[in-house]
Amino acid sequence: MANAFSDDLMGEVRARFAHVESCPFEGARVFFENAGGALTLNSAVETSAKFAAIPDNQGRANGASKALVDIIAKAKADMALMMNAKDGQFFVGESGTELLFRLIMNACLARRGQGVVLSSTLEHPASRSAAARWAEEAGLTHVLIAHDDASGTIAAQAYADAVTANTVVATIVHTSPVTGMGVDVAAVSKAIRAKAPECLIIVDGIQHAAHGAIDLAAYDVDGYVISPYKMFSRHGYGLAWMSPVLEAVAHNALDGGPALNWEMGTRDTGAYATLSDVCGYLEWLGGETGATGRREQIVAAGEAIHAQEKALTDAMIDGVGNLAGLREMPRVTMLGGADNDAREGLVSLTIEGMPAVDVVEALNAQGIRTHLRKADHYSGNVLDPLGLDGCARVSMCHYNSVSEVAQFLAVMKDLAG
Ligand SMILES: Cc1ncc(COP(=O)(O)O)c(C=O)c1O
């Protein structure tokens, strides 16, 4: 098993991120906690510091203010390119969770009393809770479709079976942060629109964003939300895209202000500017694979990221050199099974006879950072039906290497061998 990237490219990729090999608090470690927050681009760190020092506000008649407005406009254009949005608008809010709540709330209120809000049990509580609360407030019926426990995902057919002509709002999670399995958003939205063409469809792209290209034109949805700290930028804000239909619904805004403005007060220009850094990084990565043209490079970067992450999860499951993979460890169970094409860089596992909390602690003690998912309000939707009270989530990204997977397997051999 080898990296999908050449050694040179692996080195160049890793050089572009902060804290790749060691943590400022705990020292050397392998970072397999990317689903909790991906590594940050060095360029995003520099950009953040630069803009943190600028006192000026947007919308003033001076050069600094005009520069800030231009930088925000460029970041929005870069996001349209990066996510292939042909229309609609991008805006930033407090967090991914806040934006999901805001989009879902306004979608429900816009369709008050008209029918059904359709969600699935695979979703993070951010979208499920928003749909449950605002369906009730808006006199709509909230219907939850059960996901498939065995594969850890949900098929378009499950939405096709549940959707009706009076489905007015639907929510979809692009990738589960517990199982790591992706959902075919384009197929789900097609299934929904076959019976409910006007349905407002809102997608939680937070876990998916770091793992491959986003193609809003192909999805045919109305809202898409990401958390930039999970896509190589930094903490402190969320990013949403809305279709022309969704951006036009009633929403909180200043009286007399621009009708389509969804932003709440003064923007952090630095937050926007780091999004251009993320776009630039993907263009560079795609260019390294030989692609030319900005969108082509982003698509190529998505494919390269997927290939490297598949190399990593294959190595973890099937072994590296003479180190056995998880598949060969009889006490290990992987959520979603060992062979699953929907997997996006993440393996959640249990070890028979060892509480998941102890697995995560033992790995951490050996310098492998993973995360405990408990059957609580975040992950109970996936873990309870499997009869699990917890699992260890091992989440990787394309800048991780097969040699880091080997370090993980060496520890797992002692824990589960
Ligand atoms: C799929 C998904 N949705 C929503 C969230 C919440 O994101 P945030 O805490 O950035 O608001 C997460 C965070 O892990 C997630 O993975």
For residue 320, give the DSSP letter. B
Examine the domain organization and report whether 182 and 213 are in the same domain: yes
Nearest to 244 by CA among 222, 261, 216: 222
Nearest to 114 by CA among 6, 217, 249: 249
Flag whether 267 is in a domain: yes
Nearest to 38 by CA among 379, 346, 407: 346
Examine the domain organization and report whether 231 and 378 are in the same domain: no
Flag whether 207 is in a domain: yes
Q: How far apart are CA 220 and CA 100, in angstroms?
A: 17
Examine the domain organization and report whether 106 and 199 are in the same domain: yes
Examine the domain organization and report whether 71 and 123 are in the same domain: yes
Examine the domain organization and report whether 338 and 315 are in the same domain: yes
Query: For the chain, which ranges sit under pLDDT 70?
Result: none
Examine the domain organization and report whether 64 and 187 are in the same domain: yes
Flag whether 289 is in a domain: no
* Cα distances (Å, whole numbers) of residue 326 to 40, 150, 408: 29, 18, 10
Contact residues of ligand 1, CB 6 A cut-off: 95-97, 124, 126, 173, 177, 204, 206-207, 227
CATH of the domain at 86: 3.40.640.10
Q: What is the pLDDT of residues 79-108, one digit of tens each?
A: 999 999 999 999 999 999 999 999 999 999
Inter-residue contact 350 to 375 (CB < 8 Å): no
Examine the domain organization and report whether 187 and 205 are in the same domain: yes
CATH of the domain at 332: 3.90.1150.10
Q: What domain range includes position 208?
A: 46-280
Examine the domain organization and report whether 301 and 319 are in the same domain: yes
> What local confidence, expressed as pLDDT, does residue 195 receive?
98
Inter-residue contact 168 to 200 (CB < 8 Å): yes
CA 19 to ligand 1 centroid distance, Å: 22
> What local confidence, expressed as pLDDT, does residue 417 receive?
76
Q: What is the pLDDT of residues 205-245, one digit of tens each?
A: 999 999 988 999 999 999 999 999 999 999 999 999 999 99
CA 202 to ligand 1 centroid distance, Å: 14
CA 88 to ligand 1 centroid distance, Å: 23
For residue 35, give the DSSP letter. T
Structure tokens at 364: 């951490």
Of 280, 303, 333, which marks where a domain is finished?
Answer: 280
Flag whether 272 is in a domain: yes
Distance, C-alpha 184 to centroid of its chain: 14
CA 65 to ligand 1 centroid distance, Å: 33
> What local confidence, expressed as pLDDT, does residue 374 receive?
94
Q: Which of 176, 181, 206, 237 has most ligand 1 atoms within 8 Å of CB, for mutation? A: 206
Of 280, 306, 333, which marks where a domain is finished?
Answer: 280
> What local confidence, expressed as pLDDT, does residue 47 receive?
98
Q: How far apart are CA 235 and CA 247, in angstroms?
A: 25
Q: How far apart are CA 95 and CA 225, in angstroms?
A: 9
Inter-residue contact 92 to 272 (CB < 8 Å): yes
Q: How far apart are CA 373 and CA 348, in angstroms?
A: 9
Q: How far apart are CA 190 and CA 186, in angstroms?
A: 6
Burial level of 343, CB count in 10 A (0-12/13-18/19+)? buried
Q: How far apart are CA 178 and CA 122, in angstroms?
A: 9
Examine the domain organization and report whether 26 and 112 are in the same domain: no
> What local confidence, expressed as pLDDT, does residue 1 receive?
77
Give me the amino acid identity at 404.
E
Give me the amino acid identity at 262.
W
Task: Give the N- to C-terminal CA distance of the chain in Å, as an integer.
Answer: 21
For residue 182, give the DSSP letter. B
Percent of the chain that is helix, strand, coil (3-state, to 5): 45, 20, 40
Helices (H) and strands (E) in the chain, counts: 14, 15
Q: How many domains does the chain have?
A: 2
Examine the domain organization and report whether 16 and 147 are in the same domain: no
Examine the domain organization and report whether 239 and 358 are in the same domain: no
Examine the domain organization and report whether 129 and 226 are in the same domain: yes
Inter-residue contact 200 to 170 (CB < 8 Å): yes
Ligand 1 atom having least distance to the Cα of 126:
4
CA 322 to ligand 1 centroid distance, Å: 37
Nearest to 250 by CA among 118, 112, 53: 112
* Pairing status of strand 89-93 against strand 371-374: unpaired
DSSP character string of 80-135: HHHTT--SSEEEEES-HHHHHHHHHHHHHHHTTTSSEEEEETTS-HHHHHHHHHHH
* Cα distances (Å, whole numbers) of residue 143 to 120, 234, 237, 249: 8, 35, 30, 23
